[in-house]
Amino acid sequence: MMKTLLLNSDDVHENAAMDELVPAIEEAFAAYQRGDAQMPPKSYIDLPTYNGDFRSMPAYLDAGDWDAAGVKWVNVHTDNEEQYDLPTVMGTMIYSDPKNAFPLAILDGTELTMKRTGAAAAVATDHLAVSDASSLGIVGAGVQSYTQLEAISSVRDIEEVVISDLSEERVARFIDAFEDRFDVRAGSIEEAAGCDVLSTVTPVEDPIVSRDAVGDHTHINAMGADAEGKHELADEVLLDATLVIDDYEQTTHSGEINVPYAAGVLGDDDIDGQIGEIVVGEKAGRTTDDGITVFDSTGLAIQDVAAAHVVYEHANERDNGYEFDLLGLDE
């Protein structure tokens, strides 16, 4: 009798190796571009009484050799840490078999989100950064910063890492985690922005990366903006760059470009393409050694499903997790 696999954050981490996760996310982008994916718009339940919200993200994709379906249920409750000693953001992923809808796994969606977000940045970096990129700047030393480095270093030979954050404690933790593998040091936002690759993973609403700070050939992964009003990069950076997005509806509503787009400072003509178009070869990635490139990532449900596929397959092979009879069929 089939059992549902329960996978906690450690199980997800153990079974989401970047060398397999990055190609799976790339395949998800390709499936979406080809029309071989279904991804209804993210739905929201606002809970002002609790200073929070829920978000539902369902998707199905057919990558050719495999297909997958699932839904992520995720929250943002800004008072959680102070009032309940809980994370602000928590997620649960339900991964189902498309052929019969059996719930194959219930996974920790928080770790899954961190992994797939890093992997998405790596896909963009692989197509948009200079081929010999060796330095990575990261602005924001929270949990997302770790998977940015793990993923991007799987597609480029990263040697030098500059980490910038207002919290010296977070910076010290990050350096301690990676100093045995990289030449990693604390630095200013300007120093981080001058690297070959820059990832921004902050929740700011006033831009913190100026045009003058960005290197002549820097590729930027703008990962922090995930809600209306958030904005990490100065408008001049976006206007001067080759601008690639993950999804038009999401980025114009809640991605890095949402503020200048709503204000009319940036328009459709300033968007050079979607990452899926580059992955399938409909548009070119980086073609010269000079020029700024920006990837505006909002995070797509197809990424969660692709990541869940990788995690489930390996957890199943390795007997990780906890099997249980969710549907009561073994009676």
Residues assigned a catalytic role: 72
The candidate with the shortest Cα–Cα distance to 297, out of 201, 210, 212, is: 201
As a whole number of angstroms, the distance between CA 56 and CA 61 comes to 17
CB 136 within 8 A of CB 153: yes
Helix axes 18-34, 301-318, angle to 10 degrees: 140
Token pair for residue 222?
A: 């703008």
CB 231 within 8 A of CB 256: yes
Burial class (CB in 10 A: 0-12, 13-18, 19+), 286: buried
As a whole number of angstroms, the distance between CA 134 and CA 258 comes to 30
Strands (E), the chain: 4-7, 37-38, 43-47, 52-62, 67-77, 91-96, 103-108, 135-139, 160-164, 183-186, 197-200, 219-222, 242-245, 273-274, 293-296, 322-324
DSSP symbols for 39-58: -PPPEEEEEGGGTEEEEEEE
